[in-house]
Structure 1
Amino acid sequence: MVRSANNTRQQLVEISADLLCRRGFSGFSYQDLANELGIRKASVHHHFPQKADLGLALCDWTEAWLLDGFQHFDRQAKGAVDKLNRYLRAAAKHAFNDDKQCPISALHSDLPVLSEAIQQRLKALSETELSWVAAVFQQGLENGELQAPQPATDAREMARLFIVACKGALFYARLLGREHFEQSMALLLRQWLPQTHQ
């Protein structure tokens, strides 16, 4: 089979993304990629001279993956609470059915070995995720689906707690079981539901 350079590059990114989510950034090598694709390791270096170059390409892939998921939730969901529940179901499927970490979490786990450029991109990716979740909380506060626990708490603070709790619960649930994740997140969400919706 004749493989174009662009096609090979894209395949390398997609295989790397899968390995990133399964093993972390430090958990796979260029030899692993070469073996997966049936090419020489030198060919991997041709497309990505250093692993830091591949890391930046993985950040691009992660951004597209995030935005695609958020657009899907925006199209399909019936309100803010439904969007949050879809986010949680997608996170659970990724972790428990597919046995993967979210790529942002996977990169965070390898923070000490990431280049400064990748770390900056990772901050931007985290902000992209936070901004979407904050917009969902803002929608919920405005339409009455959600309530702030106290006047000083705004949508962005609620979104930050939601994301941190979700990723932390996923981390612990890998050992303790899916019900740990589902119970923890249900308890958190319940704090923000008006009494009439509980």
Structure 2
Amino acid sequence: MPGQGDTLQQILDVAQELVQERGFNAVSYADISRRLGIRNASIHYHFPGKADLGVALVRRYRQRLERDLEAISQATDSAPERLDRYLTAYRTVVHEDGRICLCTVLAGDYNTLPEAMRQEVRAFFDLNEGWLTEVFARGRSQGELTFAGTPREAASAFLAALEGAMLLARSYQDVRRFEAIGRRAVEGVRAD
């Protein structure tokens, strides 16, 4: 029998998968319990309310991103290479059964989310923009990247392009759309 920590992680894994497929508002504890073969009470033990589950989902997703961004930063000093690796991380999400970024899905549900979840979603996007802003600033100062506007504006545009590319790829069920837009976003700022 799995331990409570295992059950907790399984609940989060299944909930994330379902939210990425359907959206937060279309997922219930019954959906999760059915998929895992457990009772709803087991989910309520860990997450008394759906908002608690949502906050835990986004927080875990953001923490994973923090680790990924740190790994990218440790792996290379090259701004174009950092953008390539960042794009690869997004590509992995898109290629997993046509899913899209958890927080992109939640941004679509934003007006109906509890405030605690909204804060976590904003924190996720703030983390992305902050890291990308540093990459763009460093890339410009080292002559590796060229773009109009401030590094923050370039970071926001880059992030928006990838988030939008995921939505288009999903809508058309064609990951090549994501690939083309992602490549264009990176190539469009390379100085070489």
Distance, in Å, in 2 between the alignment partners of 1:173 and 1:18 is 17
The answer to whether the Cα contact below 8 Å between 2:24 and 2:106 also exists between their aligned partners in 1 is yes
Distance, in Å, in 2 between the alignment partners of 1:101 and 1:129 is 15
Say if 1:190 and 1:43 are closer, same or farther in 2 by CA, change over 3 A: closer
Distance, in Å, in 2 between the alignment partners of 1:164 and 1:19 is 23
Distance, in Å, in 2 between the alignment partners of 1:77 and 1:59 is 27
Distance, in Å, in 2 between the alignment partners of 1:13 and 1:184 is 30
Q: Does 1:62 align with 2:58?
A: no
TM-superposed deviation, 1:163: 0.3
Say if 1:39 and 1:179 are closer, same or farther in 2 by CA, change over 3 A: closer
Q: How many residues were matched structurally?
A: 191
For structure 1, which runs of at least 5 residues remain unmatched after alignment? none
Say if 1:185 and 1:5 are closer, same or farther in 2 by CA, change over 3 A: closer
Partner residue in 2 for 1:183: 180
Amino acid at match of 1:178: V
Q: Structure with the greater relative contact order (CA < 8 A, sep ≥ 6): 1 or 2?
A: 2
Match of 2:164 among 168, 174, 180: 168
For structure 2, which runs of at least 5 residues remain unmatched after alignment? none
TM-superposed deviation, 1:137: 0.9
Could you give the per-residue CA deviations for residues 136-170 of structure 1, whole angstroms, max 9, x where no partner exists? 11121121101233xxx111110000000111122
Say if 1:89 and 1:56 are closer, same or farther in 2 by CA, change over 3 A: same
The answer to whether the Cα contact below 8 Å between 2:98 and 2:173 also exists between their aligned partners in 1 is no
**155-164 or 8-17, which deviates more:** 8-17
Amino acid at match of 1:88: L
TM-superposed deviation, 1:44: 1.2
Q: Does 1:51 align with 2:47?
A: no
RMSD of aligned residue pairs (Cα, Å): 1.9
TM-score by length of 1: 0.87
